[in-house]
Amino acid sequence: MDDLRRKFNMWMLRNNRKLRFRIYRKLQGMLAMNEALSRALERLWYNSSDMGRHPERPSAMALQEWLKRDRAGETLSEAMNDWVPSAELYMIRAGEESGQVSNAMLAIMHVGDSAQRMRSAIIQAVSYPLFMMALLAGVFWLFGVNLIENMRKAAPKKVLDAMSGIADVSDFVMQNGILLVIIIVGTIFFIAGSMPYWKGSLRVKFDKYPPWAWYRVWQGSSFLLGLSALLKAQVPLKRAVEILEEEATPWLRERLHSAREEILRGRNMGEALRAGGFEFPDPQVALDLEILSERSDVGSIIDVVTKEWIEEQIEVLTIQAGFVRTGGLICVGGVIAWAMMSILRITTILSDMQNSGSTAF
């Protein structure tokens, strides 16, 4: 039972960014004030467990285990293993190598917040078209159930001819709606699932267009922020790229491996990114880094360039989402207007038939 609770709390902490960052923020402040790690972990455990009254809380159980393993001689990254995502674990390990654990935690929070903003912009751009498609399908389904089927039972041929267009579309949605949903959902899951794994020259071409371009921007911004954080923590460039490569997905690993090989040949970061031909994270960013990477404060420069690029990309994604939203509203409004015109035409036919004395239904 205790092992099951421990595994559940591990899962909770790994998937709760706010809870982890709350721990990081407090621990970073204590370490920045030169407080001993063991003492800092002990104080945090008392705080998280409410003076020991709730040791079963995920944060309290995690801190208690980290404290025990720290006292047993393990490093903080070793103690945190399985409790935090691997990307954060590698950055803490890099901070230990450079003696800058508190800076590494600051970097983790900075990267996480920026990645969250990018993720939110991408979700906004993707979710609205899906909502519009579902809304249109619902409109046609309602017409089919509430109007068309009832009209077919008693309406004369003129009325049936007048509603043939909307009836055909409604019939298609009603007959194939479930299949369409399965195909759309399956396609979304297939694309999303293949993004971290699909590599090669064909993928480079697809990375120029949404949604693959969104994935490139998201991963590229996380990579640059992580690289900046490691360099500012005094980790050598080659080692920083190695750390990020070890944790990367196959798609990102392909790009970082190419960059690392070029760094070993004596190229700077910008030159290494351009030489691979992957256009990662962005051709213009690589050009900027090629010029700026010669500076001694390259970590800070990469941070500035990346933040500017992220703001630009978020603005682009927001504009794209706005166009999609406007287009979706026009599309839905047009379809509804077309449906209403069909109903009006049917009403006119029925009125004319009634006026002419025809009541044959």
What confidence tens digit (pLDDT) does each residue in 133-176 have? 777 777 777 776 666 776 666 667 776 677 777 777 777 777 88
Residues 6+ apart with CB under 8 A from 303: 225, 228, 229, 232
Cβ atoms within 10 Å of 134's Cβ, excluding its own = 12
Position 254 scores a pLDDT of 94
What is the pLDDT at residue 292? 79
Whose tokens are 């190229």? That residue is: 267
First to last CA, the chain: 71
CB 309 within 8 A of CB 282: yes
Q: Are 274 and 200 in contact (CB under 8 A)?
A: no
The dihedral through the CA atoms of 327, 210, 314, 111 has a sign that is positive
pTM > 0.85: yes or no:
no
Contact 71, 210 (CB under 8 A): no
Question: Using CA atoms, how far apart are residues 204 and 222, in angstroms rounded to an integer?
Answer: 19
pLDDT in tens, 53-108: 888 899 999 999 999 999 999 999 889 988 998 778 877 887 787 777 888 888 78
Q: Is the pLDDT of residue 6 over 90?
A: no
Question: Band of the pLDDT at 361, cuts 50, 70, 90?
Answer: very low
Using alpha carbons only, what angle is made at residue 246 by residues 242 and 249, rounded to the nearest 5 degrees?
125
Least confident of 29-38, 115-124, 281-290: 115-124
Residue 133, exposed/middle/buried by CB under 10 A (0-12, 13-18, 19+)?
middle
Considering only CA atoms, which of 292, 301, 211, 200 is closest in space to residue 255? 200
The answer to whether 211 and 191 are in contact (CB under 8 A) is yes
Length of the chain in terms of residues written: 361
pLDDT, tens only, 255-307:
999 999 999 998 888 899 988 889 898 888 888 888 877 777 777 788 788 77
> What pLDDT does residue 24 have?
92
* pLDDT value at 339 more than 90: no
Residue 52 phi/psi, 5-degree rounding, is: 85, 0
User: What is the per-residue burial (b if ≥16 Cβ within 10 Å, else e) of 158-187?
Assistant: ebeebbeebbebbeebbeeeeeeeeeeeee
Q: 326 burial class (0-12, 13-18, 19+ CB within 10 angstroms)?
A: exposed
The half-sphere exposure of 237 on its side-chain side, counting CA atoms within 13 A, is 22
